[in-house]
Structure 1
Amino acid sequence: MKKLDETTIEKKLLQLPEWDYFDNAIHAEFEFENFKDCFSAMSRIAFECEALDHHPDWSNVYNVLKISLSTHDANGVTEKDFDLARAIEHIVEPED
């Protein structure tokens, strides 16, 4: 998978307002009502990660989930990271 340049990354991030680009990765932080809701989202995200064969660097403290995405094989952000970011957005902020 080809590493994306910074201009392309910033343009793609316009469609993902919760995400930022820094330290060679895209990052987001999501806050939930409680730990149970956060952990539930993490479980659903884990299934999507397995389906896409792409796994985030993430951390959880109580009701806050922090996620960083980059493609280690490409040493930067690729389309694979944006595919997973869009899937995560759909999980944590479902459309009505």
Structure 2
Amino acid sequence: MAALLDDDAVRTALQDLPGWERDGDSIVRTVQLSDFVTAIGVVDRVAEDAESAEHHPDIDIRYNTVTFRLSTHSEGGLTAKDTDLAATISQRVAAAGG
């Protein structure tokens, strides 16, 4: 069981997660990559990371634009699982040039 982050903890975490924004009980980031193949490659790597973390983002792919949405549904809001995976996603995006 992961503890919910309070509003201050979420604000603090987002300071270290450029491009991520809070949207209710989720954090969201939309990225644009060079092309569809690169976008799918990032999604593939994030899928492996999510499986390892046993925490899965909602992912929307539109050609080279990918939106990641994170929330710990079982806890009803945001936890460290979300901010940790957001940091990993950001690393994957940066490595792909996004």
TM class, shorter-length: over 0.9
Query: What is the aligned partner in structure 1 of residue 19 from structure 2?
Result: 18
Query: What is the aligned partner in structure 2 of residue 71 from structure 1?
Result: 72
The number of equivalent residue pairs is 94
Query: What is the aligned partner in structure 2 of residue 47 from structure 1?
Result: 48
Quote how far apart the aligned CAs of 1:89 are: 0.9
TM-score by length of 2: 0.93
Quote how far apart the aligned CAs of 1:23 are: 1.9
In structure 2, the residue corresponding to 1:73 is in which secondary structure?
coil
Identical amino acids, percent of aligned pairs: 32
TM-score by length of 1: 0.95
Is 1:8–2:16 an aligned residue pair?
Answer: no
Detail structure 1 runs of 4+ shifted over 4 Å in the superposition: none
Quote how far apart the aligned CAs of 1:18 are: 0.8
Quote how far apart the aligned CAs of 1:58 are: 1.3
Q: RMSD over aligned Cα, in angstroms?
A: 0.7
